[in-house]
Amino acid sequence: MCYWNEKMETIDKESLKKIQSERLKDTVKRVYENIPYYREKMKEAGITPDDINSVDDLHKLPFTYKTDLRDNYPFGTFAIPLKEIVRVHASSGTTGKQTVVGYTHHDIDIWSECVARCLTSVGINKDDIVHVAYGYGLFTGGLGLHYGAELIGATVIPVSGGNTARQIQLLKDFEATVLCCTPSYALHIADQMREAGVSKDDLKLRIGIFGAEPWSEEMKSQLENLFGIKAYDIYGLSEIMGPGVSMNCQHQGGLHIQADHFIPEIIDPDTGEVLPEGAEGELVFTCITKEALPLIRYRTKDLSVLNSDVCSCGRTTVRMKKVTGRADDMIIIRGVNVFPSQIESVLLKHSEVEPHYMIYVDRINNLDIMEVHIEMNQSIFSDQVRKIEALERKIRHDIESTLGISTKIRLVEPNTIQRSEGKAKRVIDKRKLY
């Protein structure tokens, strides 16, 4: 069995707009009636549910921010009584309280279908053995992929993150064909395989479902080579649902958004103005089928571009460009905006270094300084200092010509940069500590 919702995935624009408009009207009415916090927000904006008659009125609605969820911690943004909630997840972020999200049975069913659609779009089916190494628990990655893979009838191995030696053993023994985890953890698994003398030919993997953090095209090629697989990008966020809000299909021309459940917009992150299709800006989602937590115009802080051309796979759903950075992760160095994924792209063009890196930012004598620590691979590590210095110069030059800013490069010994079993931390910005 596979999970292909032809009606929704190939729907024409007019019919989709009709469905979205109906669902939006219903959602706005529900949040207005059931969530005091939304009622207040709408009153402040001078609107009532009667002002929302179609998706064209979406822009009238106020935005929802992560801080709104935190201010109503833990359950103040739920639209229904707690007894109807069958599952709670949470995401920690870097600061402050957890962001708590809840699901009804119906929400879990829709989430599972969305993930199942994603997995089906890259050819995963009931013959596959799906090794889920995303964390199980409050994080949505593990259970999100789990339910979707089960729905298509695949054999699910719920390993969760960590204990990498055991992961490798199980990948081998259970002959998994699909690996689901963050791209940084996949890289760590590949490293450990090399150390343990396990080759990609000892495994039966054919597909990787990677996401939950930004990763570059170069990292994708690297992972494809290391495992001998096709790697796909799955996107999502707990506040909207979890993994499966969008994913790229086999044609890889952007990530298909499940727009019958979530209406996407791109806005200017500074002014909040809605931008035309094709412009880059902050992704905003409105949930139109969620029962427990139907967020309206949720500001994701993720930067992307929308494209509603029909994809070669036949799906008509609007696609979003790979998220290569969050407004939060952007480092501003002497006025230049830099995303870690841009640095990653440059590093991965150099075969003498490993894709393990850490970016340190500081301000010395009022000047922003960026230093990138990168692991050398074994071959260059045993080389003369002269060669290592020449490589540092070469990488520095490449980063300078790509990003237009000067940086310090320090090649460090293999295995000295901390590995991640979930979302990788790439930046230490000491300026924030002052």
- Residue whose entry in the numeric block shows the structure tokens 């790979």: 322
Nearest to ligand DLL of 132, 333 (CB atom): 132
Residue number of the CB closest to ligand DLL reads 211
Q: How far apart are CA 120 and CA 130, in angstroms?
A: 13
Q: 353 by DSSP, 3-state: which?
A: strand
Give least dist CB 323 to ligand DLL, A. 4
Q: Which tokens in the block code for residue 130? A: 């799906």
Nearest to ligand DLL of 184, 238 (CB atom): 238
Residues in binding contact with ligand DLL, number by CB under 6 A: 21
Pick the binder of ligand DLL from 77, 300, 316, 345 (CB under 6 A).
300
Instruction: Return the residues of window 240-269 that contact ligand DLL according to CB under 6 A.
Output: 242-243
Q: 156-181 in b/e burial notation, b at 16+ Cβ within 10 A?
A: bbbbbbeebeebbebbeeeebbbbbb
**Inter-CA distances, 242 with 62, 110, 195, 211, 245, Å:** 23, 11, 33, 11, 7
Residue 235 binding ligand DLL, by CB under 6 A: yes
Nearest to ligand DLL of 104, 304 (CB atom): 304
Nearest to ligand DLL of 21, 184 (CB atom): 184
For residues 319 and 253, is the Cβ–Cβ distance under 8 A?
A: yes
Of the candidates 141, 196, 199, 202, the one whose C-alpha atom is nearest the C-alpha of residue 165 is 196
Q: To 5 degrees, how large is the angle CA 273–CA 276–CA 277?
A: 135
Instruction: Return the residues of window 326-355 that contact ligand DLL according to CB under 6 A.
Output: 326
Instruction: Return the residues of window 117-156 that contact ligand DLL according to CB under 6 A.
Output: 134, 140-141, 144
Of 29-37, 64-72, 77-85, 210-218, which segment contacts ligand DLL by CB under 6 A?
210-218
How do the residues of the chain divide into helix, strand and coil, expressed in percent and rounded to 5?
35, 25, 40
Residue 233 binding ligand DLL, by CB under 6 A: yes
Nearest to ligand DLL of 211, 294 (CB atom): 211
Nearest to ligand DLL of 11, 118 (CB atom): 118
* Contact positions vs ligand DLL (CB under 6 A): 91, 134, 140-141, 144, 211-214, 233-238, 242-243, 300, 302, 323, 326
